[in-house]
Structure 1
Amino acid sequence: MRWIPGLHAARTYRAAWLPRDVVAGLVLTALLVPQGMAYAELAGLPPITGLYTTVFCLLAYAVFGPSRVLVLGPDSSLGPMIAAVLVGTLGSDGDPARAVALASGLALLTGLMLTLAGFAKLGFLADLLSRPTQIGYLNGLALTILIGQLPKLFGFSVDADDLPGDALGFVTGLGGTVPAALLVGAGGLALILALQRWAPRVPGVLVVVVAAIVATRTLDLDVRVVGPLPAGFPPLQLPSLVWSDLALLLGGAFGITLVSLADTISTSSAFAARTGQEVRGSQEMVGIGAANLTVALFQGFPVSTSGSRTAVALQAGARSQLTGVVGALVITLMLVAAPGLLRDLPQAILAAVVVAASFSLADLPGLVRLWRQRRVEFALAVAAFLGVALLDVLAGIAIAVALSVANVFRRVWWPYQAVLGRVDGIAGYHDTTVHPEAAHLPGLVLFRFDAPLIFANARTFRHQVRALARSGPTWIVIAAEPITDVDTTAADTLADLDEELDARGITLVFAELKTPVRSKIDRYGLTRTIDPAHFFPTLEDAVAAYRARTDTDWERGGTA
């Protein structure tokens, strides 16, 4: 029951939910079919693979996924990453069979990574993508998708592997614009955006798809169309790959896994709050891993959660994963009984669906907010954006992760530091930079270091304490409550620093050390160098001890 939530869902299903789940499943199908086909093309794959992927990921997640409402499927944020691996890394361009095999291999590796991450409770890996770098990455992705789809929207194609090439190819290829394709694509895009803005309950994508098919058939428009889809499903089989392919796919699979983790945790948390469910992060990873493993066996490609499709399902009244099952069954029925239904769907409409999705990925207000709130994090977002836009999507992911980790390291390397004093009317001791009027005790410095004391910042700590010692204090008291760790490198630094200060007649004192940190100091043998009497439970105790020794009183202004 724990690892196969679908069994529990079936046992606890309420008959009253059935009508709403069926209706929501039918409504959802209107979005699943065109988006599945469009995102397959975005990934550089035949449109039919998007339908195979959609069917099997929905069925697998209904069995192994813990959420009652999350909807999985091909995703606009994963499409460019898949294309980057298939074309940029492995050179599958022009060979659909090889592209499908490689995409299935990518789904297999992604599924294995996600499943193992779920069993090992490695959801914290999603934290490697900080929010600012996610904003930059998604904005870069939105621009990459938009520029890449413009030629299709205008009825011609461009042979390029990166954003600058796509942009140049689009500009130089404008002379080959097909007016009918542009009319259909731009009109469809405008209608989708208009319905999303002013009539969100209307399935805009379905309206546009139906209208485009009718217009193409009745007006005999000269546009590229999807053409007849294969009837039925591909056989159950492992992806046809060689070991060298797997080695090259690993990097892309890791990047896709990381993005899927971040998407899943954020999306599941948002919708769990709406529906009153608890987030089971590890099981979510297992559920999405199982979905990827399943689609890999049926010529599918990597999938993730979809916030937009989940919102549509909820809005339509979805109560359980039966909604997704209904959607999968309807698509199956279409493939078996009416494979020619979408034969006359213009390719420009699939481009319009993808472009509309790219607008939802972009977060320009988020960039503006970062500019106003914290310029360093704005710079991180811009760097991640440029990595995606000027290099490629996988390089952008690597840059985003590296920048996120580097930003954390920077904060530990150069943490905030403060000299403290007493402020009238406010309990405790406070930063003299904020309160320059704070009182101090002659000969006493209260110093706060806002980070764990480790190898990366031990030299910074020593430099600052030495600078404070130049003013000739008798005691330097370390307000150690923010120091959550002391490693062996920092312990050696403290020992040397204490001996150096003792030689100058200055006492190094610690106050408010956390119990685990004090235990480490004892284990390192630091108390053989630093007098155990110089450790105090609170700053007040340290100040009281100093005043008892020196009979000094508080003075206004200055620090020591």
Structure 2
Amino acid sequence: MPTGGFRGVAFSLIPGLNTALHYQRAWLVPDLRAGIVLSFLLIPAGMGYAEASGLPAYTGLYATIVPLVVYAVFGPSRILVLGPDSALAPIIAASILPLALGNTERAIALAGLLGLMVGLTLLIAGLFRLGFVTDLLSKPIRVGYLNALALLVIISQIPKLLGFSIEAPGPIQGIGAIVQGAAAGSIVVGAMLLGLASLAVIVGLRFLLGGRIPGVLIAVVASIVVTAIFSLQNILPIVGAMPQGLPAPALGGLVWDDVVSLIGPALGIALIAFADTGVLSRTLAARRGDSVDGSQEMAGLGIANIGGGFFGGFPISASTSRTPVAEQAGARSQLTPVIGALIIVIFMLVAPGVTGYLPTATLGAVVIVAAASLLDVSGASRLWRIDKTDALLSIAAFLGVFLVGVLQGILVAIGLSLVAFVIRAWRPYRAELGRIPGVRGYHDRSRHPDADRVPGIVIVRFDAPLFFANGGIFDDYVRSMVRRAERESEAGGTPVHTVILAAEPITDIDTTAIDELLELDEYLASRGVTLVLAEVKGPVKDRLQAFGLGDRFSPERLAPTVGAAVDAASGELRDDIGGAI
């Protein structure tokens, strides 16, 4: 294999290799800074979601460290941060706890097995190029999705900012619980002051100094110092110290029955993880001017899950709270999550107690600012100005994700997108074309009143594939144009003898539309009118041949251009601007 070809394959299979070979020196400081900031968020998030999954807190760190490093090598996104996720935690707990029967070691082994099965599912799907589903995630869906996620994350962090916690099944209930907690006096004043001060530092430095000084890092370090000096760790909610020990395999005691029991949960988690990761990855890539291959993203996520599952972790996906923190902190490449993972390892070995002085209110402030950066209000308003249908799709995605759930909301929005596509193709734009003296080509008469019909000829254009839903509309439209032309010819004009279909926009035709085309042809023939198809695309010609219509629509009825069809029908050879030659 040529060297270039080998390198191309290597870069495709191992995107991190391409980043390493093309790494820019200017990225190093931003990546280091972002990695340090990110590490302080990775620790509490990992530990918290592990407990929510029914597992020991330290497994959340294992499920963070290994996937971050693996994805940095095999994942296509340069900014995505992977780790334990709130959407997966309840499914993981419901899947493994009934099988573990109170045995913690067995629960850890089952969680690792579940991670392996999720990873294998995603890897196989990626190898079979099933990542095309991300093509269904249109801009309106992505805008609605991110706006909903931003609000969900902000709502979830407000209690931490105020120094208390809530239990609520959804965001509406969460807002109610926050109001009730505040009214009941649950706010911890010291935590709230630290949280608001952290918000002020992060936002203030960004606006005043344009982000040249890392406000997030300053806020985190200052909060730790203040907490340690004044011994606030005894009166404020804090992250807590990290456990000691490094990731290691923990898959003992498993049997085949466990694999069978986890097949269903593994498929469901794989679908949710990729839906969440695919939308976030593609949206962030678009914002940075990059592109991400959906199948490669699926495979990279799969390998990361395999790594985490093998080394004592559990299923993970992209993080909608930690990724924007890395982005806002200035991350430039996959080195940022690697640095974050290495810092966690160092702290676990050298100073596991440092996070025992980190207030959760400060982390809440960090996440709120990062989540706010995901909000795209201007994008939503722009959609409303440009296309009301796209705006409604965006609103549907927002409401679905916000009120029902990430996967359900995305699926609803994709379904509505397909319905909108069918509606647009069902009643597409259609026009009668005419000739403007002195202007080349043939033009829409509804937009150009000075465009004249060629005597005896009706030229029509239908801007969509012909299929079962619009075949009748196409037939009715052509007939109505012919009848209108005939009424006008009764006043002294040339009788209609030819209908020319400008067929270039018609990219496909199905059996139902074929029948409609034949009925139209017979109707026109009964009135002494010849139907000519101009500029028919090759695949559509092939379909006509496959349906045995090669003799019916012989070469003389298939014109290479509209102009050639007009020349043949009128018996005159004209130049491109309508003059006879």
Query: TM-score band, normalised by the shorter chain?
Result: 0.7 to 0.9
Task: Summarize deviations over 1:410-461 as a string: whole Å, max 9, x none.
Answer: 2222222111111234311111221122111243221111112223322322
Residue pair 1:38, 1:354 contacting (<8 A) in 2 also: no
Within 5 Å, which residues of 2 pair with 1:72-471?
Answer: 72-74=80-82, 79-83=85-89, 85=91, 108=116, 111-174=119-182, 175=184, 176-199=186-209, 200-221=211-232, 222-238=235-251, 243-268=260-285, 282-297=295-310, 298-304=312-318, 306=323, 309=326, 312=329, 324-471=337-484
Distance in 1 between the 2:420 and 2:18 partners? 47
Please give the secondary structure, in 2, of the residue aligned with 1:187.
Answer: helix
- Once the two structures are TM-superposed, the CA of residue 327 in structure 1 deviates from its matched residue by 4.0
Counterpart position of 2:68: 58
RMSD: 3.8
Quickly say closer, same or farther: Cα 1:6–1:395, change in 2 above 3 A: closer
Residue number among 31, 35, 39 corresponding to 1:33 in the alignment: 39
SS in 2 for 1:206: helix
Aligned to 1:545: 568
Identity in percent: 39
Q: Is the 8 A contact 2:274 2:317 kept in 1?
A: no
In 2, distance between residues paired with 1:170 and 1:48? 29
Is 427-436 or 409-418 further displaced after alignment? 409-418
Name the CA shift for 1:84/1:12 in 2 (closer, same or farther; >3 Å).
closer
How far, CA to CA, are the matches of 2:308 and 2:279 in structure 1? 21
Cα deviation for residue 478 of structure 1 reads: 1.0
**Could you tell me the TM-score, scaled by structure 1's length?**
0.83
Q: Write the distance in 2 (CA, Å) between the matches of 1:136 and 1:268.
A: 17
- Distance across 1 between alignment mates of 2:284 and 2:163: 35
Q: 1:196 to 1:157 in 2, by over 3 A?
A: same
Structure 2 counterpart of 1:501: 524
**CA 1:463–1:79 in 2, change beyond 3 Å: closer, same or farther?**
farther
Match of 1:341, as an amino acid? V
- Asked whether the equivalents of residues 29 and 331 of structure 1 are also in contact (C-alpha less than 8 Å), the reply is no
Name the CA shift for 1:355/1:366 in 2 (closer, same or farther; >3 Å).
same
Q: Which 10-residue stretch deviates more, 98-107 or 296-305?
A: 98-107
Q: Is the 8 A contact 1:154 1:178 kept in 2?
A: yes
Q: Where do 5+ consecutive residues of structure 1 fail to align?
A: 556-560
Question: Would the alpha carbon gap of residues 163 and 387 (structure 1) be closer, same or farther in structure 2, given more than 3 Å must change?
Answer: same
Specify the SS of the correspondent of 1:476.
strand
CA-CA distance at 1:251 after TM superposition: 3.3
Comparing 391-400 with 24-33, greater Cα deviation is found at: 24-33
Cα displacement string for residues 503-528 of structure 1 (whole angstroms, at most 9, x for unaligned residues)? 23332221000122212212211234
Per the TM alignment, residue 395 of structure 1 is displaced from its structure 2 partner at its CA by 1.8
Q: Per the alignment, in what secondary structure is the counterpart of residue 448 of structure 1?
A: strand
Is the CA contact (8 Å cut-off) linking 1:511 and 1:542 kept in structure 2?
Answer: yes
Distance 1:7 1:159, change over 3 A: closer
1:476 shift after superposition? 2.1
> Aligned pair count?
538
The DSSP-based 3-state class of the residue aligned with 1:526 is coil
**Cα distance in 2, alignment partners of residues 12 and 190 from structure 1:** 35
203-212 or 466-475: bigger deviation: 466-475
CA displacement 1:266-320 (0-9 Å, x = unmatched):
54566576xxxx96665454333322321233314423384663675656xx6xx
- Off by >6 Å, runs of 4+ in structure 1: 4-14, 16-22, 87-92, 95-103, 239-242, 278-281
